Structure 1
Amino acid sequence: MGLKRKQKVEPVKEEKSAVDEVFDRRKRIKADFNFRKAQPLLFMLAIISGFLIIAVGYYFSPISKVKSISVKNNYFLDSSYIKSLSGLNLENRYYLVFDYFIEKKLEESELIKSATVKHKDQGVIEITVEEETPFGYRYLEQGELLLTSGKAVELKSEYLDLIAKVPYIDGFESEEQLIKIAKAFQKVDRNIIESISEVSQYPMSYDENTLRLLMRDGNNFFASYYSLSTLNSYNEIASDFTASGLCIYSDDSLKVAFTSTCPWDAVVEEKEYWIDELGNVVVNQYGDPVEKKYFTDGNGNFILDASGNKILIPMGEEDDYEAYTKSQIE
């Protein structure tokens, strides 16, 4: 009996209708449209993701850090102190240092007039400052540093190194006096300021506001508020002398300096004045008291009478006697 081979029955494919074909085609077109529409966004997301990956990698790499901090134009303030004021260090990221904010932070200091911060090549941050100029320090209720701008600022611990560069100021406690001396020191070179040990007031007969400057070399320099700039020539003036403890005077009109006897060594001459019948001092036409004068010889020595007393020149004849004496000398 023979075996019958089974025939393989294949599934009958259902033919899509024309309507289904239309809808399938619309779906493919819509999917393609959505993909094309999303392409710019996907491209942008890819760029942003790539940038973030690069930025994060750069941020945590050593090459992103500041390599050096340079401080320029400082004289009184130490570079390390200015760096600490800025808040910058070598752990800062170079491109995350914002110049404007660092400048404003530095300018909060009472001793920094202005600051400029710049990004330089090779990861260098450059700080350039314009300092206020201190010309002295004093102690009233507290230690104060005096500036040529006319301000007096608290002598903080971080400023203590500055007192080696400026003199001690004795007196000048009123606001008016402080402004005057600050203005006078505006014309004095800062290297000359360092040569002064102490400044005080020393009233003279011709100027009760005379300034006495004790120099670090032991000499005394006397000047007015208006002639203090003569002090800039001090090194040249002092080089002509070998001795110390000299008294040097500046001249308001000639703008020069000269040496003379120190005021505490000067011999004070007691003057005598004519007295009238009522016991009042006789004055001349200008209101000045009339001084008594005595006869002297050609050498300037007083001529004495038989009793050893000086011979008085009659009042009103002083000029005649001086003219006569001068003619005899000539």
Structure 2
Amino acid sequence: MDRKKVIALEDRLPQLKQERKQKANRRFVFYACIFFLLIFVVVYFQSPLSKVHTITVSGEQIVSSEKVIKASGITNNTHIWDIRKNAVQQKIERLPTVQSVLIEKSFPNEVTIRIKEYSRKAYLWKNGNYYPILQNGTMMKKLRDGKMPVDAPVLFGFSKSAALKKVAEGLGTISKQMKHNISDIHYIGHSGSGDDLVLYMNDGNKVVASTRTFAQNINLYPEVAANLPKGKHGTIHLSVGIYFIPDKSGQTSDQVKGN
């Protein structure tokens, strides 16, 4: 039976010393890295490097980038680590034209504000001027003299903000093709039946509707119009009962669709 080779302790000492030295060196490098990293973090947080240097705004078309930045409350004296995204978003969303906000922070000191604005859905005719109306009912500054609205319906007689908002929200739910088929919308708040809207369509029809159900029922118009008698134009009622009255006098109402 072979005897196992025995290595003398004095022969192993240099190897053990080398291994211990390597371990000690690795520990030193590790702790040195931690130390310098902490020093860097402390210096960064206390130095001007941590203050916001660049603020970029994207997506703005109606509101100016200056107003967005001012609303955010972020300045060049703001430390980037002190920015609370949710709080900044809520501040910017208070602007009447802003629908949603996304805040991005980039090392070392850059902030990007991405906004989505409410789109223009109509124009309000008031005191001889046209005022763009956003989807949330916000009225913007009047159009320049001589400029005419061509891409959205014109609203007449809207003196109540609640009715204006309802109609603007309803226009936001329809397709561009449908919206372009509406020439103008008149508000007749004195109607005792609750049908307080009259829409004049570019296809020759007239629509009577209610602000309460406008957003829901206006989407039914293409289907109703497609089922009208060929070559006939008249008034379509889109409120409690949906029916069609031809232009010619003496003809009875044609029931198109009922609730």
Give the TM-score normalised by structure 1. 0.41
Structure with the greater alpha carbon radius of gyration: 1
Higher relative contact order (CA 8 A, sep 6+): 2
Give the TM-score normalised by structure 2. 0.49
